[in-house]
Structure 1
Amino acid sequence: MDISFKSENEKFNYRVCAMMISDDKVLTMHDERSPYYYLPGGRVEMGETAELAVIREIQEELGVTPRIIRPLWLNQAFFTEDVDKLNYHELCIYFLMDVAGTGLLERGSKFISKEGHRTHTFEWLEFKRLKDEYFYPLFLKKDIFNLPNEFTIRTEIE
């Protein structure tokens, strides 16, 4: 069971995201439901650690098992989602991942992957392109240039 619940027009999510970086590019994705780019990852399940959740989500979405380098942020986000228009309170842990040996770089700068009935489009976006792209979370458009060396708690209010 995902750690997520909805109450009227508000939703709480506990998520994890994978920051997979190579040559000043970050692996982003979007799908048929979301016109914007976002990072691979998903919801943590009840009884699951954040570390296991990020590995599981990447295995489900990309069919590979990257190694966790370190956690970067716990982001407390408060936003209205562009697609479902719900007001979110989201806790997301961002992990820096090692993609060596996964074959992700060999798939090209843009590729498609299927997860069940959903089709995901993945793209390696240059850091400098993020500021001009329809991309969430907004804080990464700036903070990707200076990743923290220690796990950091941050808050984003849109």
Structure 2
Amino acid sequence: MDLSFSSTDGRFNLRTCAVILSHEHLLTVRDARSPYRYLPGGRVQLHETAEQALLRELREELGVQAKISRALWLNQSFFTEDVSSERFHELCFYFLVEAPDGMDAAFRHSTERQEPNGQKLTFEWIHIDHLEDLYFYPT
């Protein structure tokens, strides 16, 4: 069970995500319904640590066995999602993750993957100098 719930006031979401850097590029993801990019990861499930959730999500989304280097920060954000107009209160754990061997070459260009639930994800390495030009959540 995902640690996410809705009420009449909006949605609470507990998320975990990976900061994966390679050759001055950051791995980003975008789904088919959203105009913005975000970092790879997903929702934490009940009785799962943020680290366990992140490794599971990276296996599901990218098909890789990743290694977490260290925790970076915990971010609390409040936003209204562009597509659904749903109001969010989100807590997200950010971790620095080592790019598994060969992943930077395999994903050097835009790469599409499909999640187990059928959602299409587009992964793209973005040079760090171009990040400020992108529409990114959270900002």
TM-score band by shorter chain is over 0.9
Give the Cα–Cα distance (whole angstroms) in 1 for the partners of residues 113 and 6 of structure 2.
29
Match runs of 1:8-157 below 5 Å: 8-101=8-101, 103-107=102-106, 108-116=108-116, 117-138=118-139
- Give the counterpart letter for 1:68 in structure 2: I
- TM-score w.r.t. structure 2 length? 0.94
CA displacement 1:112-157 (0-9 Å, x = unmatched): 111131211100011121111111121xxxxxxxxxxxxxxxxxxx
Q: CA deviation at 1:82?
A: 1.1
Q: CA deviation at 1:9?
A: 4.2
Identity of paired residues, percent? 50
Specify the SS of the correspondent of 1:123. strand
CA displacement 1:27-86 (0-9 Å, x = unmatched): 001111112111110000000001100000000000001100001010011111111111
Give the Cα–Cα distance (whole angstroms) in 1 for the partners of residues 38 and 105 of structure 2.
21
> What is the aligned length?
137
Specify the SS of the correspondent of 2:100. coil
Q: CA deviation at 1:100?
A: 3.3
Structural RMSD (CA): 1.1
Give the Cα–Cα distance (whole angstroms) in 2 for the partners of residues 114 and 23 of structure 1.
26
